[in-house]
Amino acid sequence: MSAPTGLGSFYRQQLSWKGCGGGFQCTTAKVPLDYAKPSGQKIGIALIRLPARDKSERIGSLFINPGGPGGSGVGFVRQAAEAFGSDLRKRFDIVGFDPRGVGQSDPVHCNTGPQLDAFFAADSSPDDQKETAAFAADSKEFAHNCGAKGASELPYVGTVNAARDIDVLRAAVGDKKLTYYGASYGTYLGAFYAQQFPSNVRALALDGAVDPTTSSTGLLVEQAKGFEAAFRAFANDCVKKPNCPLGTSTDAAMTKLASFLAQTDKKPLSNTRDTRQVTEALAVMGIASALYLKENWPVLRQGLAQAFQKSDGTLLLTLADQMVERRPDGSYSNQTDANMAVNCVDKPNPASAKAYGQAAAEAKRVAPHFGPFVVWGGLPCVYWPVQTKTRPTPVTAKGAKPILVIGTLRDPATPYKWAQNLASQLSSGVLLTLDGDGHTAYLQGNPCITRATDDYLLNADPPKPGTICR
């Protein structure tokens, strides 16, 4: 298979893998910063792999992306490679990579720890023009910091280029076709890969799908609805248990949450870890963080009880810090900077804070507890130094082998209808459904999902369309 014109040296590069602890091997691949100018500046893409256990039955490499955008595939594979099915571990090298601008791959770094602390604590559900102007100023500062520190890289960190990088990596590890598991944003990245390289698809499992046709603000509105539905599911479970801090009925629980957030907006909570105040925005972030995994529901019950009964936001703050990868020393990974950098250049953004406010108002109407926070959090994109005019369009990947799309009915971050939409857009899409809670389905321990996904990745043979796992 020949390399695209001008890219032969990248496709034919020899990777130098070296042991990096725990049975893993690490290396760095080179890709062009700008694919239109392949002889120009080059950037490094960090990779890690856990070699297949049985070389005699090895199929190739299983590339992994954990989402974000901004999630480190290197870190994810180091932590989770052993959680993949034993047959996958036997027959595939499990390969993680940090997409361009992320982690160890020429990372975008814009903001200091204190600057991010201030941004996350800021009032991102403004109630009047004064509060709106204050958050707009914070968002302008975020965007300015990125423009000042990463201007040369920002135009090229988007998903289209990251997908092209994957094809270079596929060739560099010696695979003729791509086998890939992408979670959350990783589904968007995988779909863009299939759109650009349909004939190079062997098997793509896209778990917790993102709908490529949604606008930048439309995506946030739908995501807010997902968190609203997920919290209602949590509340419905909580009120059936003794000592639920939300009361004894689901409707009462939603009312109590609204009252708690309004009170915290006026008077932030204390915490016992450091000097930060737990503002309304941080409290919402902590709640949202716990909704990603159903296993965290007991922690959320404890955190809400602590907050309601003692005005202590320590546990909610801990959950919020986990979500944005804030370390105990006050520093952050580059997840937040990279997340904003990719999202802001992937799709057109509203032209002003006023236009953005219209989306926030819609979000508040359909997701009153989470909508404003989710939507206003993307406001820096309005002021981003790099903008695109490329409108979202359906991804069809015409000519690709069957692509598995996995959706969870009550997923807080990637609503189920996105999986339905992506599966229907893809010319070879096959939908697999988990009737369950939490973000994404694979690696959550459901035997039906695990078996269907593993069989597909091993044999490129998808389950029957419309299969539902419970």
Q: Which residues are catalytic?
A: 184, 411, 439
- Gap between the Cα atoms of 65 and 72, Å rounded: 8
Running DSSP on this structure, what letter comes out for residue 72? -
Residues linked to residue 92 through DSSP beta bridges, in sequence order:
60
252: Cβ contacts below 8 Å, ≥ 6 apart = 239, 246
Residue 430 has which token pair? Answer: 């096959």
Q: How far apart are CA 163 and CA 206, in angstroms?
A: 14
160, with CB counted inside 10 A (0-12, 13-18, 19+), is middle
Q: Is 106 left (phi over 0), alpha (psi -120 to 50) or beta?
A: left
427 token code pair: 């010319």
List residues bridging with 326 in a β-sheet. Answer: 332
CA distances from 36 to 44, 117, 156, 300, 439 (A): 17, 38, 11, 48, 36
* Residue in the structure block whose two tokens are 């994404």: 440
How does strand 403-410 pair with strand 429-437? parallel
Residue 389: what residue type? K
Read off the amino acid at residue 394. Answer: P
Q: Is 318 helix (H, G, I), strand (E, B) or coil?
A: helix
The full length of the chain comes to 470
Strand order in the sheet with 92-97: 18-19, 25-32, 42-50, 92-97, 60-65, 178-183, 201-207, 403-410, 429-437, 467-469
In Å, how far are 181, 219, 222, 310 from 157, measured between CA atoms? 21, 19, 24, 44
Helix, strand counts (H, E) of the chain: 17, 10
Residue 271 tokens, joined:
């915490």
Alpha-carbon distance of 75 to 410, in angstroms, equals 27
Distance CA 156, CA 344 (A): 11
**Tokens read off for 331:** 């520093």
**Backbone dihedral region of 397: left (phi > 0), alpha (psi from -120 to 50 degrees) or beta?**
left
